[in-house]
Amino acid sequence: MTTLNILIYALCLFSAQITAQRIIGKFELPQAGLADPARAFVRVSNATWTGHYHLNRHGEFSLTGLSVGEYDLALNSLDFALASTNFYTLAVHDDGYDVYQNVPGILASNTPVPLASKLNFSAENVRVKRFADPDQTSGILEMIPFWGVLKQYPMLGVVMGVMVVIALMPTIVGFIDPEFSERVLQAQQQVADNRKPAPPKQ
Ligand SMILES: *[C@@H]1O[C@H](CO)[C@@H](O)[C@H](O)[C@H]1NC(C)=O
Ligand SMILES: *[C@@H]1O[C@H](CO)[C@@H](O)[C@H](O)[C@H]1NC(C)=O
């Protein structure tokens, strides 16, 4: 009896191994501009298990050892994203598998339509993220105080710039010509002396 149980168990394990499928997918990646496809991975998980599958340099990946059941599938990448969503549901059947789009925050329809291209994502669906964008400059500009106001009233910026230059002028000139400040002081002294009422004549 126990031997039979063990046999049945072994048979189940064996058939599970056979039904476990090799699922192949591909992201059509532009070869230029992508740092390293291996930085991206596909995360497949169910309630009790999580697997990570890295991409090769052609953007291909292979999900192995998945038994029949439903899985959450997510693309994890710093370098690119998918135009529609990075989240999918993968349903593995005995004789194949289906992939469904899974947009977070939107309830799945009662009759979801599987993707015809399954896990093959064509170039027009792949969005490469670029970090060295003109956006970076705007990020730095946003750090300038009152940038929002200045953007609305550029003249205010010009006036403030002129005021800053005038305020800094003595420092700047002093830096360029150290004797200048001294001469300014002397000149100011002279003006002050001239303004003094002349001593009363006797
Ligand atoms: C989760 O997936 C693993 C790997 O395919 C499988 O062995 C396990 O039975 C699954 N668990 C559930 C709760 O479906
Ligand atoms: C996905 O691409 C692979 C290889 O690029 C191919 O073998 C497979 O048939 C494709 N599957 C679908 C559903 O288009």
| pLDDT tens digits, 48-57 | 999 999 988 8
pLDDT of 11 reads 59
The reply to whether ligand 2 has any atom less than 6 angstroms from the CB of 117 is: yes
Going by C-alpha positions, the residue among 85, 65, 67, 66 that lies closest to residue 75 is: 85
Q: What is the mean pLDDT of the chain?
A: 80
DSSP 197: P
Q: Which residue has the higher pLDDT, 30 or 127?
A: 127
CA angle 27, 118, 57 (to 5 degrees): 20
Amino acid at residue number 112: P
Length in residues, the chain: 202
The stretch 5-33 carries a mean pLDDT of 69
pTM for this structure? 0.57
For the chain, domains (ranges, CATH) are 2-128 (2.60.40.10), 137-195 (no CATH)
Residue 149 CA to residue 157 CA, distance in Å, equals: 9
Instruction: Give the start-end residues of each E strand in 94-195.
Output: 96-101, 120-121, 126-128
The reply to whether ligand 2 has any atom less than 6 angstroms from the CB of 26 is: yes
The residue whose CA has the least distance to atom 5 of ligand 2 is 26
